[in-house]
Amino acid sequence: MTEKRPLTRIQRRNTQTILNAALEVFSQYGFRGATLDQIARAAGLSKPNLLYYFPSKDAIHVALLSGLMDTWLDPLRALNAQGDPQGEILAYVRRKLAMSRDFPRESRLFANEILQGAPRIGPALEGELKALVDEKAALIAHWAAEGRIAPVDPHHLIFSIWALTQHYADFDVQVRAVLGDGHGDPFAGAERYLTTLFTRLLTPGSDGQDQQQVGERPEIPSAG
């Protein structure tokens, strides 16, 4: 069996150029709306030249998503069991918000894949992502059991952090339209707000949490 030859400098450059162009096209149009012609045009290459590097649109998409998964998981991996619990969770919130600011196209690419049912990264979600979330959720539950943070459902805490930070990437146009031109950078205000929100939620006995036990289902008032 012959070994695969390493890519030349030009091949590495062209591969990265294609991936950068595809990221822009996929984040704008989604997988279904994007075409190889659009990607080739954005990369400044002919379609036959693009197909020399990637045999299909699906192959490009999978390459992008595979590279993105590590970037996506790194902020949660950094949650440190030896650190101050509240400080660690607030630092995670800030890391996720910084990702939305610095990698908006990557966030939208990931969101589009999820909205389509995760046909290409389903195994990674059920494997690597789930294992990491379960590990960190157990750590958060341990902190809560020790009274170092308020009682909180750890999985839903993580989900809420994702929702409240990724919104600023996935719905960037809406955020900026509603805030208006005179509001300045939305991320500075978002960081202040989210820090206050999660500090109140996580502080034991604070006014921001209702002392429910972890996992307890609150009674939903009748609409009648």
Whether the pLDDT of residue 2 is over 90: the answer is no
pLDDT category of residue 1 using cuts at 50, 70 and 90: very low
CB atoms within 10 A of CB 30: 16
pLDDT category of residue 224 using cuts at 50, 70 and 90: very low
Whole-number pLDDT of residue 32: 87
- Determine contact, residues 29/8, Cβ cutoff 8 Å: no
In the predicted model, what is the mean pLDDT of residues 159-182?
94
pLDDT category of residue 223 using cuts at 50, 70 and 90: very low
The answer as to CATH 1.10.10.60 being correct for domain 9-55 is yes
Cα 138 → chain centroid: 20
pLDDT category of residue 4 using cuts at 50, 70 and 90: low
Whether the pLDDT of residue 171 is over 60: the answer is yes
pLDDT category of residue 207 using cuts at 50, 70 and 90: low
d(CA 104, CA 96): 11
End-to-end CA distance of the chain: 72
- Determine contact, residues 56/46, Cβ cutoff 8 Å: no
- Determine contact, residues 24/105, Cβ cutoff 8 Å: yes
Average pLDDT over the chain, rounded to whole? 89
For 65-202, which CATH class?
mainly alpha
Q: Which residues contact 141 (CB under 8 A, 6 or more apart)?
A: 154, 214
pTM of model > 0.95: no
Q: Where are the beta strands (DSSP E) in the chain?
A: none
Whole-number pLDDT of residue 211: 44
Domain boundaries, the chain: 9-55, 65-202
Share above pLDDT 90 across residues of the chain, in percent, rounded to a whole number: 67
Whole-number pLDDT of residue 184: 80
- Closest by CA position to 65, among listed 97, 100, 108, 6: 108
Q: What is the helix (H) or strand (E) element at residue 28, kind and residue range? A: helix 9-33
- Closest by CA position to 88, among listed 170, 166, 151, 161: 161
For residue 209, what is the DSSP state?
S
pLDDT digits (tens, 9 = 90+) for 105-114: 999 888 888 8
